Amino acid sequence: MINFLRRKKQYLWLFGFLAVTLASFVFGFNPGKEVFGNFTQFFIEMVTFIPFLFIIVGLFDVWFPKEQVEKHIGQESGIKGILIVIVLAMLQAGPLYGAFPVAYILYKKGASIKNIFIYLGAFSSLKIPMLGMEIGYLGIQFTLARTLVSLPLFIAVGYFMEWYLKDRDFKINKI
Amino acid sequence: MINNAFIFIIVSIVLTLLSLLLDRKKTVMGLKKGWKMFQNIAIPFLNILILVSLALYVVPPSLIVKYLGPGSGWGGQMIAAIVGSITLIPGFISYPIASVLIKEGASYAIVATFMTTLMMVGVVTLPLEIAYFGRKVAILRNVLNFITAIVIGTFVGFIL
């Protein structure tokens, strides 16, 4: 029921906007026209790539299921362990707090402290759907620069966290 | 922007054909999944575009250039980092906002800082993070990532 209302509310916004726009054109209200002009631009920008992005994301999802990668997580160390958590993170979607339960799973499966925090870092900035949006909106150059700078830095954060927490009985609680 | 759209269209067509060649059923499943995800975000996304269109009309570009432009220096970057840390904006919504900021004169360093804190630092979700990791670790992670975000922003601004 709440979900239903929330959905309705979302449409309310849209219809309200369309109604105001229509009125603006009928009565010659310039600010309304201008806002609609902005909106049309953004709308065209969106429909030219986002549906295609989701085709790519959907295909990725069936060909590279994250459950498959999750199976391989364990006590791997070194570069291989880091690579696996980064790939796992890239296959996810959603906000950062959605990553905490997965961090718990990694912890339970014996992943190192370093890899858990590298996972969180990669989750927040390398998820494939988000990278797609970033390329579409901010360009490939920006996306490349940001990821290439971020990657070593959150690996460093992982190492730091491990160094700092190693002797301080680190644990992740199940919620 | 047109070029970008072309990349997406070509990549999606090539991948779909390749996937069809390999496995028809999987391809249909993937396309359905993608369509569903698209449906889920379509309406909230349109709403955000409305908001951004409104904001763009109300906020003059000169204001954005003054506070978030290349000349705003550390002050602008701190504003971006703090706003990015305390707000809880879903990723897919933040990209159109970031793209408008850049078009209106915000610097790459500041937008990169904003995007990174948005993704990596969560003040609103801190209680939840504390429940999982404990107070000390959660706060440490957020503080570290806040600093990292500023470093990332600075480097990105340097490169671009």
Residue ranges of the domains in chain B?
A: 1-42, 59-159
A43 plus A127 within the same structural domain = no
Contact B34 A125 (CB under 8 A): no
Question: Does residue A60 lie in a domain region?
Answer: no
- Which tens digit of pLDDT belongs to each residue from A86-145? 999 998 888 888 889 889 989 988 889 999 999 999 998 899 989 999 999 999 999 999
Question: Does residue A115 lie in a domain region?
Answer: yes
- Which tens digit of pLDDT belongs to each residue from A1-11? 566 666 677 78
Q: Does B122 touch chain A (CB under 8 A)?
A: yes
A88 plus A29 within the same structural domain = no
Contact B119 A125 (CB under 8 A): yes
- Taking residues A40-64, report their average pLDDT: 89
A4 plus A32 within the same structural domain = yes
| Cα(B54)–Cα(B46) distance, integer angstroms | 12
A100 plus A175 within the same structural domain = yes
Contact A52 B8 (CB under 8 A): yes
CA angle A90–A91–A97, rounded 5-degree value: 80
Question: pTM to 2 decimals?
Answer: 0.86
Which comes out higher in pLDDT, residue B4 or B126? B126
Contact A89, A146 (CB under 8 A): no
The chain B residue lying nearest A37, using CA atoms, is B53
Task: Give the minimum alpha-carbon distance from A84 to chain B in angstroms, rounded to a whole number.
Answer: 20
A11 plus A70 within the same structural domain = no
- At residue A69, does pLDDT exceed 90? no
A113 plus A77 within the same structural domain = yes
Contact B152 A61 (CB under 8 A): no
- Residue-level pLDDT at A5: 64
Type of residue at B150: I
A41 plus A106 within the same structural domain = no
ipTM for the predicted complex? 0.88
**Number of domains chain A is built from:** 2
Q: Where in the sequence is the domain holding A41, given as residue range(s)?
A: 1-48
- Residue-level pLDDT at B134: 94
A44 plus A71 within the same structural domain = no
- Residue-level pLDDT at B148: 96
DSSP for A139-168, written as a single string:
HHHHHHHHHHHHHHHHHHHHHHHHHHHTTT
Question: Does residue A55 lie in a domain region?
Answer: no
A37 plus A81 within the same structural domain = no
Question: Does residue A57 lie in a domain region?
Answer: no
